[in-house]
């Protein structure tokens, strides 16, 4: 049963004077059970027409987005801090190519954008000396598909992960691959094999060490975690299933806390889950929400973020809604940020600012525009949100 209580403190006092102590106790019990939790006040603006979205926030609070248009052009957009207008520019015209991996963006400490995308060949794009520079990663290696992920070290070194599906002759390869730019040369390695990496997420810690999460289907549906030790990837299974048809680990997202612990959001079928490292690295897994029956995990997306207190936030697309789940210190709260479409919200991404302001990018399936929903914290209102599915 859902109960909302709107009485102010003055109303509580007035009702207590009129109806006595029992009423006061009942109201205080209700307030105590419900409590005052943080909510967000949301506003929305348009960037441009597009069918995908990825967003990043730099150290100076400038917003960066990249998106793909329906005529297969890759665009980059910038909204400087305090500005009311987006500035966009086409960075790749791939009209005559097959864009099979949507663009993703990350930024470095110098506010420089770094983009990965594939239109036949995995391509890295960055801005250097006011010029867009494009480099092919592992050209001639075969077919790239599904997703790429990108992260940048504190000194500006890019790390890219992707799913390498087929070799040039058509032989299935199915490896999760990684490349970093070392002395101007892309060094490419396999992270894992066995149908791994269709969905992946890359992050680097404060020391510049790359970490990744990814799907692994060799033994059923697994969520994998990889950490680079300087010479090889150390692999760990976070969440495993012996069911060969399991959908565990889809749409995963990785964030690292300042102490290097991993926080992961992902889908297990239609269940949104959150995994994080506890004491001695032990994985703690929680169920957060259940998405609707019309949900398609192939187009799904999650993004896990950590706020100024270290609490996790998960932004994700559902059928007919964009949602925000957050840990309030005691339990998961869930709010709907955007709703109204009669189809799924795909390619949802998010970033968080130092004052816990949330920025969510998403292609609106109703009008075809890439939009940004900005949420500012508001702690003044009582809430009674949907409970997580256990």
What's the CATH number where 330 sits? 2.120.10.70
Judge whether 119 lies within some domain: yes
Q: Are residues 66 and 174 in the same domain?
A: yes
As a whole number of angstroms, the distance between CA 252 and CA 191 comes to 16
The alpha helices in 168-245, defined as continuous H runs, are none
| The pLDDT value given to residue 219 | 67
| The pLDDT value given to residue 34 | 43
Structure tokens of 249? Answer: 């680990």
Judge whether 390 lies within some domain: no
In this prediction the pTM is 0.87
Judge whether 56 lies within some domain: yes
Judge whether 388 lies within some domain: no
The answer to whether 55 touches 351, Cβ cutoff 8 Å, is yes
Q: Are residues 62 and 140 in the same domain?
A: yes
Q: Are residues 29 and 103 in the same domain?
A: no
Q: Are residues 15 and 41 in the same domain?
A: no
Q: Are residues 257 and 327 in the same domain?
A: yes
Judge whether 284 lies within some domain: yes
The answer to whether 167 touches 142, Cβ cutoff 8 Å, is yes
Q: Give the CA-trace dihedral at 288, 292, 293, 297, to 10 degrees.
A: -70
Judge whether 107 lies within some domain: yes
| The pLDDT value given to residue 386 | 41
Q: Are residues 77 and 184 in the same domain?
A: yes
Q: Are residues 103 and 14 in the same domain?
A: no
Closest to 24 measured CA to CA, from 9, 2, 35, 38 = 9
| The pLDDT value given to residue 27 | 35
Q: Are residues 230 and 170 in the same domain?
A: yes
The answer to whether 218 touches 235, Cβ cutoff 8 Å, is no
Q: Are residues 149 and 260 in the same domain?
A: yes
DSSP 34: H
Residue pLDDT tens, the chain, 390 long: 232 323 333 343 344 344 444 443 343 333 333 444 568 999 999 999 999 999 999 999 999 999 999 888 999 999 999 999 999 999 988 766 677 789 999 999 999 999 999 987 899 999 999 999 999 999 999 999 999 999 999 889 999 999 999 999 999 999 999 999 998 999 999 999 989 999 999 999 999 999 999 999 876 689 999 999 999 999 999 999 876 567 889 999 999 999 999 999 999 989 999 999 988 889 999 999 999 888 887 778 999 999 999 999 999 999 999 999 999 989 999 999 999 888 999 999 999 998 999 999 999 999 999 999 999 998 654 444 343 444
Total count of domains within the chain? 2
Q: Are residues 214 and 170 in the same domain?
A: yes
Q: Are residues 254 and 285 in the same domain?
A: yes
Q: Are residues 8 and 41 in the same domain?
A: no
Instruction: Establish how many alpha carbons lie within 13 A of residue 314's alpha carbon, considering only the half-sphere containing its beta carbon.
Output: 29
Judge whether 165 lies within some domain: yes
As a whole number of angstroms, the distance between CA 384 and CA 36 comes to 9
Judge whether 175 lies within some domain: yes
| The pLDDT value given to residue 6 | 33
- Residue 14 belongs to domain spanning: 1-34
Strand 222-228 to strand 210-216: parallel, antiparallel, or no bridges (unpaired)? antiparallel
| The pLDDT value given to residue 299 | 75
3-state secondary structure 240-309: CCCCCCCCEEEEEEEEECCCCCEEEEEEECCEEEEEEECHHHCEEEEEEEECCCCCCHHHCCEEEEECCC
């Amino acid at each position: 049963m859902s109960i909302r209580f709107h009485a102010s403190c003055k109303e509580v006092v007035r009702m207590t004077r009129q109806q006595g102590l029992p009423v006061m106790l009942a109201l205080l019990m209700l307030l105590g059970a419900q409590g005052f939790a943080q909510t967000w006040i949301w506003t929305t603006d348009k960037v441009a027409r597009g069918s995908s979205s990825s967003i990043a926030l730099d150290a100076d609070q400038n917003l960066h987005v990249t998106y793909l248009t329906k005529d297969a052009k890759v665009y980059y957009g910038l909204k400087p801090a305090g500005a009311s207008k987006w500035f966009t520019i086409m960075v790749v015209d791939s009209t005559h190519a097959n864009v099979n991996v949507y663009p993703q963006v990350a930024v470095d400490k110098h506010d420089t954008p770094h983009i990965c995308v594939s239109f036949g060949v995995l391509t890295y794009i960055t801005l250097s000396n006011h010029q867009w520079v494009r480099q092919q990663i592992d050209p001639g290696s075969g077919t790239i598909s599904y997703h790429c992920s990108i992260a940048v070290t504190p000194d500006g070194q890019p790390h890219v992960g992707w799913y390498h599906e087929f070799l040039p002759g058509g032989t299935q390869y199915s490896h999760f691959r990684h490349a970093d730019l070392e002395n101007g040369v892309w060094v490419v390695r396999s992270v894992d094999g066995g149908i791994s990496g269709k969905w992946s997420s890359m992050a680097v810690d404060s020391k510049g060490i790359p970490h990744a999460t990814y799907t692994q289907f060799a033994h059923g549906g697994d969520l994998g975690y990889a950490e680079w030790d300087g010479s090889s990837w150390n692999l760990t299974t976070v969440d495993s299933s012996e069911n060969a048809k399991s959908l565990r680990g889809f749409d995963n997202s990785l964030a690292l806390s300042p102490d290097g612990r991993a926080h992961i959001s992902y889908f297990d079928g239609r269940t949104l889950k959150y995994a994080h490292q506890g004491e001695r690295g032990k994985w703690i897994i929680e169920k957060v929400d259940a998405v609707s029956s019309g949900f398609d995990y192939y187009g799904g997306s999650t993004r896990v973020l950590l706020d100024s207190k270290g609490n996790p936030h998960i932004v994700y697309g559902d059928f007919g809604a964009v949602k925000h789940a957050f840990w309030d210190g005691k339990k998961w709260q869930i709010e709907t940020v955007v709703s109204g479409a009669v189809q799924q919200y795909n390619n949802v991404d998010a970033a968080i600012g130092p004052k816990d302001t949330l920025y969510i990018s998403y292609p609106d399936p109703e009008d075809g525009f890439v939009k940004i929903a900005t949420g500012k914290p508001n702690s003044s209102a009582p809430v009674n949100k949907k409970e997580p599915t256990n």
